[in-house]
Structures are given as C-alpha cells and as structure tokens.
Copies of this chain bind each other. A is one copy, B any other.
Amino acid sequence: MNRLTRKLEGFGPLGDDDRRLLDELTTNVHEVPARTDLIREGDRPEDVHLVLEGFACRYKLTEDGRRHIMAYLVPGDFCDLHVAILGQMDHTIGTLSPARVVHIPRRDIDRLVQRPTLAKALWWATLVDEAVLREWLVNVGARDAAKALAHLFCELLVRLRAVGLADANSYEFPLTQDELADTAGVTAVHINRSLKALRGEGLVTFHGKRVVISDAERLFAYSGFNPNYLHRDRRMRGRSLAPAP
C-alpha cells in the first residue's frame, strides 16, 4: 500500500475517494541513486517531491564547509510542500540511500488540498515535521551523543512503524556513521564510540544495516524518549479543527 496513505491514516480515517486520489497522484515515480541531491538551496521547484522508498534528508552546508542534517525523510514524507508559499528553498534535500521519489505537480496538490480530510491530514503531517525538528534541537542541544542517538533510534522506530517499515523491534537503517555524525553535530569517531557504548549496554544492536532494539521501553527510558511529540495518539485529537491557515 501507498506509504503516504498509510501515514496519513495515522491521523484519521480517509475516504475511498481520498485513497484513490492519493494513488492516482503518486504514479510519476523516479528512481534516484544514493547521495544525490533532489532539490538545492535556492531552487524554486515546480513539482512537489514525495519519498516513496529509501531515505533522504534535509541539510545545509555552513560557511566553513560542515554539513548539518536537519531532518530525515522516510517513505511517506513530503520534501517541499512549503515552497509554494516560501518561493525558494532555504536548504538542500538529498538522498541517503537509493530511493524512489514521486514528482507531484503543484496543481495536483491543489486538488488534494481541496478535500477537507486530506487538507487536515497534510497540515497535521507538516506540523508533526515541525515538532520533530524541535525535538532534534533538544537532542543536539541538551543530550550527549549516546542519548541523542538512542533517542533518534526510538523516533525512527515509531515513524517507520507508522508506514509499515519496522517490525516490533527492528528496521532497516542504511546510514553511515558519517551521516549520523552530521545529524548529531559531532564527529564520526565520536559516533562510533557512542554506538559502541550503546551496544555495550545492550540497548541497541546492529545486524548489517538493521537496527535492533530488543527492549524498547528500556531505550525509551535511557534516552528520555516520549512519543507525544509525534502526535500519533488518537485520544489527543478530534477537537475543533479550524480550516488550515
């Protein structure tokens, strides 16, 4: 099933029409190799991009040549829904693994947004992206590298489970330690040592490119992970839903 549909149903039920429309608009699929920029800072893309398979990320390069990764885009995630309003990209988006990416014409997004249920679901997805960003800021600013990594693995467990890409305690995770370093704002050597510490505590293990979390509760407690910021709990929702600004 369409990863986007699956993700949006995490917000609330969709009608058959909605699902059909989502399937219809996600047919223009492009195969993209790993480490390839999809959209660059300064671009004004015509189409909206959606990741269907593989991992991508948002990143910026600083004046002194450092790369900082600001978000992971996993299947079901939009890359640049916001460019219609902002006009110009203020960061770059690139693949981390081989990926399948859909190009959706701006016009088709308008069609999606004309359906109130889909409009709300898309807005929810955008706001959750922002909440994730806030949590990443806490991660980098207030947790040491080991805890930040542990927290990240918890978040990905929940996010990937939401699109059917994780089982109860593991998922494919094709990133290098270099990429984790640019995410956590530390060096790759330090990432290596922090991962070793996590392995040593039995909190996370790695088999090939698969992250295995044998005791999720323990990892949650260790990293201070509280999934509320992912807003996937239905009891939290269902209040007056104003049309999106």
Q: Scoring A residues 59 to 93 as 1 if CB is less than 8 Å from chain B, else 0, what string do you get?
A: 01011101010110000000001101111101100
* Chain B residues whose CB sits within 8 angstroms of the CB of A241 once the complex forms: 84-85
How many copies altogether? 2
Q: Scoring A residues 32 to 74 as 1 if CB is less than 8 Å from chain B, else 0, what string do you get?
A: 0000000001101000000000000010101110101011000
A85, B127: Cβ atoms closer than 8 Å: yes
* Chain B residues whose CB sits within 8 angstroms of the CB of A85 once the complex forms: 120, 123-124, 127, 241, 244
* Chain B residues whose CB sits within 8 angstroms of the CB of A237 once the complex forms: 86-87
* Chain B residues whose CB sits within 8 angstroms of the CB of A126 once the complex forms: 245
A140, B143: Cβ atoms closer than 8 Å: no
* Chain B residues whose CB sits within 8 angstroms of the CB of A44 once the complex forms: 239
Given contacts A87-B236, A113-B242, A119-B245, 4 further A-B contacts (CB under 8 A): A63-B224, A87-B231, A90-B231, A113-B244
28 CB < 8 A contacts A-B: A42-B228, A58-B134, A60-B135, A62-B143, A68-B141, A84-B239, A84-B242, A85-B120, A86-B236, A87-B236, A88-B228, A88-B236, A90-B131, A90-B134, A90-B228, A90-B229, A91-B229, A106-B240, A110-B242, A118-B245, A119-B243, A122-B245, A130-B130, A130-B133, A133-B134, A140-B141, A140-B185, A141-B185
